[in-house]
Amino acid sequence: MRLPVDPHADRARRAWVACPGCDDARGCEPCTERRNCPEHWRYLIANKGPKVHLQCPNCTHTWTLDTARDRRRGPRG
């Protein structure tokens, strides 16, 4: 069952990260090159410090990403 888009979702508040729910950006050149893609963005619902709450507009999956932890890991690849 697909959830509706969060009522706090605002198209002006976006993030460009991979969706763990649908992986819709696989094979997309701008996403592979870690550029802002006009198609594969996520709603930035809220944040508390380095933790951001996101929702994918494609599959409506919601998740929390700790951006401080992701930075410590270094570049993807």
Q: 13 near 43, Cβ under 8 Å?
A: yes
Judge whether 23 lies within some domain.
yes
- Number of domains observed in the structure of the chain: 1
Is 9 inside a domain boundary? no
Residue 44 corresponds to which tokens in the numbers above?
A: 């930035």
User: Per the domain annotation, does 67 fall within a domain?
Assistant: yes
- Residue 38's domain spans which residues? 14-73
Q: Is 68 exposed, middle or buried (0-12, 13-18, 19+ CB in 10 A)?
A: exposed
Residues 21-72 have pLDDT tens digits of 998 999 999 998 988 899 999 999 999 999 999 999 999 999 999 999 755 5
In a domain, 66, yes or no: yes
In a domain? residue 41: yes
Residue type, 65: L
Residue 44 lies in a domain: yes
pTM: 0.77
